[in-house]
Structure 1
Amino acid sequence: MSVGEVAADVSAATQPEGIPSDYRAGFVAACRIDERLAQRYVAHTMIGDPLADQVIAFLSTLPPDQGQAMIRRGIETGAAGLADAPRVLRDFFAASEAVPAWFDAGATLPGCRAFHRHSQMFLGAFVAAVLIEGFSTLISKSFSITGRMVDQGVRRLKQNNRHVVEIFLPGGLERDGDGWALSVRIRLMHARIRQLLNVSEEWDRAAWGTPLSSAHIAYATAVFSGLLLKRVGMLGVTLTEEERQSFMMVWRYAGHLMGVAPDLLFEDEAGALRLCEIGGMCEPPPDFESQILANGLINSAPIVAGITEPRARRKLVRKIYGVSRGLIGDARADALGYPPRGRVGYLGAVRLKNRFDQMLWRMSPALERRSRAAQFQQMLEVSFYGQEGIDYRIAAHLHAEKDRLHTEKGRPHSETGGPS
């Protein structure tokens, strides 16, 4: 069924019986606020990414090494290097290389500079808030079943960090940039996991819709952009209007490359926040899988930062919980099974320090340059950079544990990557 057919079916229904059962109560409530967007969102919970799904369906008929070689050739050389490949593959990369009329590479530079000026806070809010808020949706089912956050959480977190770093490097989203390559790779990896989940007995399509659905990829992109700007603002980071618009353009184009459907791809910060609001209302309350992912993510963060000494790790975990609770609110924190609110006001302390730092930087540009250099080094340390560059292998098995066993036997398979 096409996107248009699903949307028409949902729009025509006076009752939400035609949509996945876990979305029905939230859909009714969301319709009272914005009926058209709620209908569009739930329609997309029932579809994936048709173009990428067709590519993966074809690649699955080939030996793994041959499929990997085609992905590598397509990402590194593009449609021009696939003259002998089937049309479905050539069409996919031709569409990926087509730059939308709204994208202006030069206009992304203020956003890139703002990100690197405050990269520590952006990555902090990314881990302590927006990743967790993304996992509060039914997308948690996909990650819980595959085990790709529970079994390999540290590696996954570093991969997410690397993607964010690369798209905010000047030129990172150009055709030969690593941000472009990672975004397209993420789209294909999502399609592969979607394929595996679709044929798994563990996936309840009637209740949850399509795994890694079009709605969830759009929601994640909106969370990582508009909601991230809101969260770093709560940490005391202030950006100009030009920087905010530029930041949103970076994520809008990254979302386009990751396959976000045009009718759910935001145009600006307000549009992204609206999608977060309405999409969040359509989603059911966080469940056990969301709790596992959110708490596992927080407990993985110190290891990603290189802190392994038990006492220091516990101290940092307490701080992250405190900041996270302050950012996402008590209601969501309690629903996710966070420890009770402590007596220390971690969020207020972070906000005060950031505002003091920004005042110092205005007085001394040299201090800002040194801070930016130090933050960039820290950012690289918490990101995953393999010795062989970008890995183009796709998962052979639904469960991460089986892929890890193959890795140990000398037949490695990659996990999925990115904002899901």
Structure 2
Amino acid sequence: MTTNSGLHHIEFKAADVPADLRPGPLLGRTVNYEQAVGIFGRRTVEHIAAHYNIGDELGYRAYVALREKAPKGRAKEIYDAAVAQGIDAVADPPAELVALFEHVDHVPDWVDWDQLRRGSIAYWRAGKLVVMGLAYAAIGAGFRTYGGSRELVMSRRLIEPDQVGRRLTETLRWAANASRPDGMRRSSDGFRITMQVRWIHAAVRYYCSRNEHWDWNDWGISVDNTDAVYTMGTLFAESVIRALGTVGVRLSARERDDVVALWRYIGHVMGIPEDINFTDWADLQRKSAIIRMLEHPADDGCRTLLDSLVTYMCEAEIEGFQVLPAFVDSRLTPQRKRTLTNGLMRAWAGDEICDQLGVPDNALRYLVPAAKPFVTVHDQVLRKILKQDDEAKALRTLREFDAALTLHDGETEVADPDDVVRMLAKNSSSTDAVPGR
């Protein structure tokens, strides 16, 4: 099918989208389209841009079916039963729910459980540096994406001071459980929590699709597949691998492929379709480059999100764990932590992203390249001479990380979808809900 502009676009069957929704290449969030086509080829770029208007259709349709057909107040209970016990535990399930669980219960042929376990060990064997990479190169830098941050800006869950810590902890709890050894096995917590996040995403899409303040022709569909690829692949896999390499922990080609396979499967369970999901390190790098080129620059909303996160990390006491090493964290004032955080983000996320997000530059950025030779030698000595047990190191890192993620009275493991929707409803109509608009 061809539009009047001459742009080709892919037919799709996304639920609950306006009939006159612009194709992905013509959305307000899409920039540099023809430039990307010239570099990467029209077919690939067109396909990625088209998925700005396509989401997790299986998960979403199951959510809508339960919301509309299940006894009042029991939709989530039925979904949880299917997650915990399998679809056979649900009496007379709607066809949409059956389709969802037929999909997630069928492990793709490309999944090698030994490889996923190796990927988990490779991901976590660098200890504290992994947590720093997650904080500074993945989660923080992730706010650079203009279209993908709209739901967070509208809900203000990472803007309101009393919400930031909860949101960060929920994200880290999911990431740690999903990426730990065997975490994505059908009976494991990582699989269960990933399916809970999938339900939250469906709830957010359901609300935004019916919200008069959702700007379809600027942002596309809520919780779209292209942003999911960016989150699972670019941020949690590629950005962390690159951050570790920048500071001196170099993953081998096999380790990189193992880590990518792990996050590919996490993305699969989260609902990323096979036709856009990344397949290996080379494919991930190519898709990341295309998405970065296509994405509208960060706006005031993105910068507000990052500022709130940095303020929390520098001022709050995170029980049982600090992002910075303890001997550094205990000796710095909040303002000095912020200066160090800005420098580390500059070193790990890069100038282009930090310029867009308004991260001040400072000389502390040079700590990372200065430390690289020493970290490299230390890593090589531990692994090649002292024969470090990588699996034991990874598991020890995760145990330490778990201390900060322990559930306390009144807390939920991941976000309560009803709470997320309430915050969207409360804030989306405010003129201040989306800074910069």
TM-score, normalising length: structure 2? 0.81
1:77 matches 2:88: no
Higher mean C-alpha displacement, 247-256 vs 378-387: 378-387
Partner of 2:238 in structure 1? 226
1:192 is aligned with what amino acid? A
Partner of 1:382 in structure 2? 404
CA drift at 1:399: 4.4
1:43 is aligned with what amino acid? A
- State the SS of the aligned residue for 2:98: helix
CA deviation string 1:141-170 (max 9, x = no partner) = 111001222232211211221222212322
- 1:319 and 1:342 map into 2 onto residues whose CA distance is 9
Say if 1:109 and 1:48 are closer, same or farther in 2 by CA, change over 3 A: closer
Which of these residues, 111, 129, 148, is aligned with residue 139 of structure 1? 148
Say whether the 8 Å CA contact 1:44–1:214 is kept in structure 2. Answer: yes
Partner of 1:293 in structure 2? 305
Partner of 2:66 in structure 1? 59
- State the SS of the aligned residue for 2:417: coil
Say if 1:397 and 1:249 are closer, same or farther in 2 by CA, change over 3 A: closer
CA drift at 1:178: 0.8
1:195 matches 2:222: no
Matching of residues 351-366 of structure 1 within 5 Å: 351-362=372-383, 363-365=385-387
CA deviation string 1:330-359 (max 9, x = no partner) = 232122111232356232244345224314
Say whether the 8 Å CA contact 1:55–1:88 is kept in structure 2. Answer: yes
Say whether the 8 Å CA contact 1:145–1:399 is kept in structure 2. Answer: no
Say if 1:356 and 1:378 are closer, same or farther in 2 by CA, change over 3 A: farther
Say whether the 8 Å CA contact 1:163–1:182 is kept in structure 2. Answer: yes
CA drift at 1:175: 0.5
CA deviation string 1:2-28 (max 9, x = no partner) = xxx95159xxxxxx9743432443222
Say whether the 8 Å CA contact 1:305–1:381 is kept in structure 2. Answer: no
Higher mean C-alpha displacement, 117-126 vs 250-259: 117-126
- 1:350 and 1:301 map into 2 onto residues whose CA distance is 23
Say if 1:124 and 1:371 are closer, same or farther in 2 by CA, change over 3 A: same
Partner of 2:271 in structure 1? 259
Structure 1 regions of 5+ residues with no counterpart?
A: 10-15, 405-420
- 1:371 and 1:397 map into 2 onto residues whose CA distance is 36
1:315 matches 2:326: no
Would you say how many aligned residue pairs link Structure 1 and Structure 2?
Answer: 395
Structure 2 regions of 5+ residues with no counterpart?
A: 2-7, 13-20, 323-328, 428-437
Higher mean C-alpha displacement, 148-157 vs 184-193: 148-157
CA deviation string 1:260-304 (max 9, x = no partner) = 121110110111111110011111111111111222222323436
Say whether the 8 Å CA contact 1:111–1:250 is kept in structure 2. Answer: yes
- 1:187 and 1:7 map into 2 onto residues whose CA distance is 25
CA deviation string 1:27-60 (max 9, x = no partner) = 2221111222210111110122211111221232
CA drift at 1:206: 1.0
- State the SS of the aligned residue for 2:74: helix
Higher mean C-alpha displacement, 340-349 vs 129-138: 340-349
1:150 matches 2:159: yes
- 2:389 and 2:159 map into 1 onto residues whose CA distance is 39
Which of these residues, 20, 30, 33, is aligned with residue 36 of structure 2? 30
Which of these residues, 161, 173, 190, is aligned with residue 184 of structure 2? 173
CA drift at 1:312: 3.2
- 2:77 and 2:184 map into 1 onto residues whose CA distance is 22
Partner of 1:98 in structure 2? 106
2:156 is aligned with what amino acid? G
- State the SS of the aligned residue for 2:197: helix
CA RMSD of aligned residues (A): 3.0
- 2:414 and 2:240 map into 1 onto residues whose CA distance is 27
Higher mean C-alpha displacement, 264-273 vs 392-401: 392-401
1:355 is aligned with what amino acid? T
- 1:315 and 1:17 map into 2 onto residues whose CA distance is 46
- 1:64 and 1:322 map into 2 onto residues whose CA distance is 51
CA drift at 1:374: 5.5
Which of these residues, 173, 177, 185, is aligned with residue 196 of structure 2? 185
- 2:204 and 2:291 map into 1 onto residues whose CA distance is 22
Say if 1:352 and 1:296 are closer, same or farther in 2 by CA, change over 3 A: farther
Say whether the 8 Å CA contact 2:140–2:306 is kept in structure 1. Answer: yes
Partner of 1:407 in structure 2? none
- 2:27 and 2:388 map into 1 onto residues whose CA distance is 57
1:240 matches 2:252: yes
Say if 1:169 and 1:403 are closer, same or farther in 2 by CA, change over 3 A: farther
CA drift at 1:107: 1.6
Percent of counterpart pairs with the same letter? 22
Judging by fraction of residues, say which structure has more helix.
Answer: 1
- 1:367 and 1:73 map into 2 onto residues whose CA distance is 38
